[in-house]
Amino acid sequence: MNVICSTLNAKYIHTNLAIRYLKAYASPEYTIQIKEYTIKDPVMNIVTDLYQQKPDVIGFSCYIWNIEETIKVVNMIKKIDPAIIIVLGGPEVTYDTLEWMEKVSDVDFIVIGEGEQTFKQLLTEIESTNNYRIVPGVAFRNNGQVMITPQMNKLDLKDLPSPYHFHEDLPHLGKRITYIETSRGCPFSCQFCLSSIEVGVRYFDREKIKDDIRYLMTSGAKTIKFVDRTFNISRSYAMEMFRFLIDEHLPGTVFQFEITADIMRPEVIEFLNQEAPKGLFRFEIGVQSTNDYTNELVMRKQNFKKLTRTVTLVKEGRKIDQHLDLIAGLPEEDYASFRKTFNDVFELRPEELQLGFLKMLRGTGVRLRAADHQYIYMDHSPYEILGNNVLSFNDIVRIKQVEDVLEKYWNDHRMDQTVEYLVSNVFASPFDFFQRFGSYWDKQGWSRIGHQLEDLFRRLSSFLKEQSVNDLDFIMGLMKYDYLKNHKYKPRKPWWEATFNKEKRVQLYKQIIENPSLLGKSFMELELDEKDLFKHTILEELTFDLTKYLSSGKIENQSSCLLAYFDPINEKTLIFSFNNM
């Protein structure tokens, strides 16, 4: 029997762990072929590739991001060859299973919940007696009627075989994110999350996990992301794994974790700050809301004071980047409350702040009790909210404007100095800056067109001029600094008009060559001649002393020069500042 396990990932760099577990568990009785695509791939291309494999059974792993495209693929395959058996599984079809079976008539089976053993038993029955009633946790059709069997008890995760030892994965490990699972389940009951439905936490065998990580690293994996919902729920377990990863990691490997920050003890952070190499770990922390009443309504326990302590201590250690998440649209969090949530969290200055919108996932408490808060939401995936009793659709549109510019101007770190000054000194709060800029951005139609790096600076400049902000010359100087700092190579045409004409530039370069100590020891060590200066540097005038501002935060109205040297060998940019001569 020719069996394929397939899925449509959100991006090429993603890999699907679920179908690899199915393949590993079904072996050696069944040899399963893995076929991964993306939601951007043309449906015809996907169908053609699958059909050419001449499959008897195709199983699709389904999520909110791929269900719509997956159904298109399924419908087309059945039109071409109705004999191909289609099996769906995954979180999107585990809930409202009867509705899915009635809605998509081309689906033959749905595997409900944890699928490794169920899928293998289903394959056995497809191949032999077709007695699907004895397969636990499966939906099937019997004389036109949909039948659903009870789910089995949870698997003992220590018995599951490794999903990683497949030779066809090896060429791609260095180019994609590799996902690893050390536990299933979550101890918390957040009503917007599917993980809250499964009671308790089960762990895989620790030594097997360590062996898998060693194998992945030696095979070329560079980014390994733990999918555990709360990696640090057991302090002893987290410490053991952190110690193992610190001791045995290979250069260039990065490990990402979902962390519950308010339960992380200071001694754990102290250990990481002392022992972990910079850049080895990355933390993802779901804050979602700082509104206590909202958190109570969604059964979310969170101590924001302790969370703040954790994020601050990690940030002070300068070893670990942090990605903090917010959810707009939670119960009883109106626009003003969300503004406060945003400002509370932005105050922590995370390396990334992800602003998302509540999705009414099938099976979750917020969806089951949607009427309590007058939620309206999309009928199709991703079931994103369109409004509720305290947050109008217009409010949601405004917050989406914030999300648009937040991603471009904070999370991408293209102009850290500029944005920091704007949110701290020019606008009433960080949220107000991103909101006003986001509304302006949307009004100009920029959300519907692409952009180059230069466009981002031009558009911010246009917005600031329209707002008639104070200290515009100073802000433009910071923007020049940020722009040049983010280039590896000398830009052909900067976004601003040059402040020095050719004669003045020649004069300044000659003075620099005659007295390079003006730019400091590190500049002198470059030993640049006049040709190098003209070829690899940009020289600009500033209305303030850049060096003093960067070191102290104080603005001194003293004209200075900014010189950016673009190192062609090491592909990096060095910035120097000196008093105007």
pLDDT given for residue 555 in this prediction: 85
Task: Let me know if residue 490 belongs to a domain.
Answer: yes
Instruction: Over range 232-239, report the average pLDDT.
Output: 92
Same domain, 229 and 344: yes
Tokens 């558009």 locate to 459
Q: What is the CATH number of the domain that holds 328?
A: 3.20.20.70
Percent of the chain with pLDDT over 90: 85
- Cβ burial, residue 426 (10 Å; 0-12/13-18/19+): middle
In a domain, 464, yes or no: no
Are the C-beta atoms of 546 and 477 separated by less than 8 Å?
A: yes
Q: Are residues 483 and 437 in the same domain?
A: no
200, 59: one domain: no
Measure the CA–CA gap between 141 and 145, rounded to whole angstroms.
5
What gap in Å lies between CA 178 and CA 145, rounded to an integer?
40
Look at residue 247 and tell me if it is in a domain: yes
In a domain, 72, yes or no: yes
Are residues 128 and 173 located together in one domain of the fold? no
Full residue range of the structural domain in which residue 441 is found: 392-452
> What is the model's pLDDT at position 443?
97
Q: 505 with 420, same domain?
A: no
Whether residues 35 and 177 share a domain: the answer is no
200 within a domain of the structure (yes/no): yes
Confidence (pLDDT) at 200:
85
Closest-CA residue to 231 (of 203, 273, 199): 203
User: Are 257 and 363 contained in the same domain?
Assistant: yes
pLDDT at 229: 87
- Residue 558 has what pLDDT? 80
**Which residues, in sequence order, are CB contacts of 210 under 8 Å at separation 6+?**
244, 248
The 8-class DSSP code of residue 104 comes to -
- Is the confidence at residue 3, as pLDDT, over 70? yes
CATH for 128: 3.40.50.280
Total count of domains within the chain: 4
Q: Which pLDDT score is estimated for 580?
A: 66
pLDDT of residue 263: 95
Give dist(CA 370, CA 495) in Å, integer: 49
Is there a single domain that holds both residue 414 and residue 499?
Answer: no
72-89 mean pLDDT: 98
Query: 382 lies in a domain?
Result: no
Same domain, 491 and 445: no
Question: Residue 375 falls within a domain, yes or no?
Answer: no
Specify the pLDDT at position 581.
58
Q: Given CA atoms 272, 278, 284, 290 in this order, what sign does their dihedral have?
A: positive
Quick one: 259 and 223 in the same domain? yes
Indicate whether 69 and 106 sit together in one domain. yes
Looking at 114, 148, 182, the residue that finishes a domain is 148
pLDDT in tens, 152-201: 889 999 999 999 988 888 888 999 999 999 999 998 999 999 987 877 89
Residue 509 inside a domain? The answer is: yes
Please tell me whether residues 85 and 184 are part of one structural domain: no
Distances in Å between the alpha carbon of 167 and those of 81, 163, 173, 215, 484?
Answer: 30, 11, 11, 12, 44
